[in-house]
Amino acid sequence: MQVNVSESQTKTQIRSLVNCSRAAFEEYRIRTISEIRQCILNQGMTPSDAGYMLSRLDELYTLVHLDFIELESEKERIDSIIRQCERSKTEGRNEIDRKKNATVYLENYPVPNTNETVDMYESWREVYYRYNHLKHCLSILENKQDRMITLSGYMKIDASFTRN
C-alpha cells in the first residue's frame, strides 16, 4: 500500500516567519496545509507504512512547532511593547487625548537604530495571524498523532487475532 505523503516541502528558504514578507508566509502556509492534508491515515496501512507516517507526522510537528515558538516569542514581545507604550506614552489634557497620543505613537513606533517607524498594531496583527495559523496546524498534527497511536494499537490487536 502506498502512503499518501510528499517529501518535506516545509523546509523553505524563509529564515524567519517573523520577518518574511506576507507573500512568503502565504507560500509557507499553503505548503504546510498541503503537507498536513497529505498525511492521511488509512485502515489498510502496514506496520511499515504506519512507522513512516508516524515519522512524517513527527517531522512536520517539529518543524511547525519550532516556527510557532519563534512567532509566540515575537507576539509576546510586541504585546509587551504595546502595553508599555499605552501606559507610558499617555500625555495629554484628558483621557481621550492621552489614548490618542499613545495610539499615534504606536502607529509610528520608532525602529531602534534606524530612522524608520513601524505601526505596532499592524505588526501585532500580522504576527498574530501567523501565530494563529501555526497554532491550529499544531492542533491538527497532534490530533493525527493521537489517531496514529490508536491505529497502531488496532493493528497490534488485529495482528494478534490473525496469528491465532
Residue 4 forms part of a structural domain: no
The boundaries of the domain holding residue 147 are 24-163
Residue (of 152, 153, 145, 148) closest to 65 by Cα position: 145
Using CA of residue 100, residue 102, residue 107, residue 110, what is the dihedral sign?
A: positive
- Distances in Å between the alpha carbon of 159 and those of 46, 48, 113, 152? 11, 14, 65, 10
Q: Is residue 58 part of a domain?
A: yes
Calculate the average pLDDT of the chain: 86
Q: Is residue 55 situated within a structural domain? A: yes
For residue 99, tell me if it sits in a domain: yes
What pLDDT, on the 0 to 100 scale, is given for residue 7? 37
Range list of β-strands (E), 59-132: 109-110, 117-118
Tell me whether residue 45 is in a domain: yes
Query: CB count, 10 Å around CB of 35?
Result: 22
Instruction: Let me know if residue 9 belongs to a domain.
Output: no
pLDDT score of 15: 67
Residue 97 inside a domain? The answer is yes
3 part of a folded domain: no
Can you give the pLDDT at residue 164?
Answer: 61
- Indicate yes or no: pTM above 0.75: yes
Q: Which stretches of 12-119 are DSSP H helices?
A: 22-38, 47-88, 95-107
Does 41 or 70 have the greater pLDDT score? Answer: 70
Could you give the dihedral angle defined by the CA atoms of residues 36, 150, 54 and 65, in that order, rounded to the nearest 10 degrees? 60
pLDDT at res. 114: 92
8 A C-beta contact, residue 128 and residue 141: no
The domain tally of the chain equals 1
